[in-house]
Amino acid sequence: MTQTEPDIKIRILLAAKRLFAQQGYDGTSCRQVCEAAGANIALISYHFGGKEGVYKAVVEHFFPIKELKSVNFADLDPIEGIRLLVSRIIQVTHRDRELSFIIQQEMLLRSPRRQTVMNVLVEVWSQVRSLLLRGKEEGVFTFDSSTNALVMVMGVALSHKHMVNFEDVFADEKIGVESIAAEAVRFILLGLGVKEA
Amino acid sequence: MTQTEPDIKIRILLAAKRLFAQQGYDGTSCRQVCEAAGANIALISYHFGGKEGVYKAVVEHFFPIKELKSVNFADLDPIEGIRLLVSRIIQVTHRDRELSFIIQQEMLLRSPRRQTVMNVLVEVWSQVRSLLLRGKEEGVFTFDSSTNALVMVMGVALSHKHMVNFEDVFADEKIGVESIAAEAVRFILLGLGVKEA
DNA sequence: GTCTATAGCTGGATAGAC
DNA sequence: GTCTATCCAGCTATAGAC
């Protein structure tokens, strides 16, 4: 590797991340990825063993698992835990929009990549679920089905990625990630029955 | 057309809807669709003008636009309007899960199909947006950005489609669509600042 | 580690028979 | 309207030179 250009493997992963996000896995060819990365097609086989290997490497290389596990949420008050965890999820998905588009796409499909994605996601979602269940036990959260509550919380936390679709249509002001996160946290806590969130 | 079997065009659309939902548009071949439909490959060109035409026909044939526009939501109280519209969206997306998977996939991509999808969706989302804005004016809803509020409401309304991912993982009881809708409506109204939803 | 060249398929589309 | 047969562009993957 030279000093100025990133490593060729990283260049391939970056190009793949961008193209998978925009066009989907099946809508993107290895040729496209390598052209965008300034790399030769044969390098995909050599470095990653094939297209599926590139996908797996993208998810595992860029998913910020450390950042999402750096706090011990089991020690926190459920309200503060949800507040912190949801804020962090929004920050992370906003910073690397491409990766979260890729992950969301695969959650909607029955593909061989689903397991790769679920492996990294379960660790985060289990934490949210634990906080919800503990909050319900302590009487601060109100809901019937914990799975339903979990997906509703996730739906709000990930909803900001669809804003770009509507900024086209409704043409209003763009807002920063801090405002988005604050509004989402408030919406979620109120939705869970917390008074004065 | 005979009396027992559905029309061949409809059989193609039904097969395409199922396969696009499971595998995505690019992950599904015309050959696969026709095999599942018991049809000859050449019929896709003949009846729909190509694969993109099949996609467009699937969205336009199965999207329940009448059902979603049969109520004049402009006449309703914002709270009742949101309650009714969100319930209806959940009923519709729960009844035809395949179509809503297809639509959600395309919302995450920059594809030539996006316009087809946005055309049918804008009509529904504009209604939600109007109700939100009116509710804010009347002082019953609380939020800063209307676009952010809109996508959060949509995130909750469509979240139930991800429950299948977690019923695998957390293995709890399945709940009916009425309970899902009731919980989602409550969550949304509380999230919007309505007391005692 | 990186390249060229190519094998071996499968994709969407259609011409033309019936 | 529906079929068979076929075109050819595009795909992933790899053998083998450098």
Segment A44-89, tens digit of pLDDT: 999 999 999 999 999 999 999 999 989 999 899 999 999 999 999 9
Residues 6+ positions from B152 with CB-CB distance below 8 Å:
A156, A159, A183, A184, A187, B191
Chain-centroid distance, C-alpha A157: 10
Token digits of residue B35: 């095999």
Contact criterion met (CB below 8 Å) for A49 and A104: no
Which of B126, B133, B147, B173 to mutate against chain A (most A CBs within 10 Å)? B147
Q: Which nucleotides of D are covered by protein (CB under 7 A)?
A: 1-5, 10-16
Cβ–Cβ of A144/B183 closer than 8 Å? Answer: yes
Cβ–Cβ of B162/A192 closer than 8 Å? Answer: no
pLDDT at site A157: 98
Which of B159, B170, B180 to mutate against chain A (most A CBs within 10 Å)? B159
**Nearest chain A residue to B194, by CA:** A190
pLDDT at site B2: 42
Residue for token pair 């917390």: A194
For chain B residues 100-119, those near strand C by a CB cutoff of 7 A are: none
Q: Is the CB of A39 under 7 A from strand D?
A: no
Contact criterion met (CB below 8 Å) for B17 and B62: yes
Per-residue pLDDT of B90-101, as tens digits, reads 999 999 999 999
Residues 6+ positions from A9 with CB-CB distance below 8 Å:
A47
Residue whose C-alpha is closest to residue A59's, from A128, A13, A24: A13
Rounded-to-5 percentages of helix, strand, coil across chain A = 75, 0, 25
Q: b vs e for B180-195, b when ≥16 Cβ sit within 10 Å of the residue's Cβ?
A: bbebbbbbbbbbbbbe
Distances (CA, A) of A128 to A20, A68, A76, B12, B41: 27, 11, 12, 42, 47
The C-alpha atoms of residue A19 and residue A36 are separated, in whole angstroms, by 9
Given a cut of 50, whether residue A1 has pLDDT beyond it is no
Cβ–Cβ of B169/A118 closer than 8 Å? Answer: yes
Residues 6+ positions from B178 with CB-CB distance below 8 Å:
none
* Chain B residues within 8 A of A99 when measuring between CB atoms: none
Average pLDDT over residues A130-143: 98
> Which residues of chain B are modeled with pLDDT < 70?
1-4
Q: Kindly report the number of other CB atoms within 10 A of residue B99's CB atom.
A: 20
Higher-confidence residue of A166 and B142: namely: B142
* Chain B residues within 8 A of A97 when measuring between CB atoms: none
pLDDT band at A4 (very low <50, low <70, confident <90, very high): low
Per-residue pLDDT of B98-136, as tens digits, reads 999 999 999 999 999 999 999 999 999 999 999 999 999
The distance (Å) linking the CA of B42 with the C1' of D7 is 14
Token digits of residue B183: 């919980």
pLDDT at site A171: 74
The distance (Å) linking the CA of A66 with the C1' of C1 is 31
Q: Is the CB of A10 under 7 A from strand C?
A: no
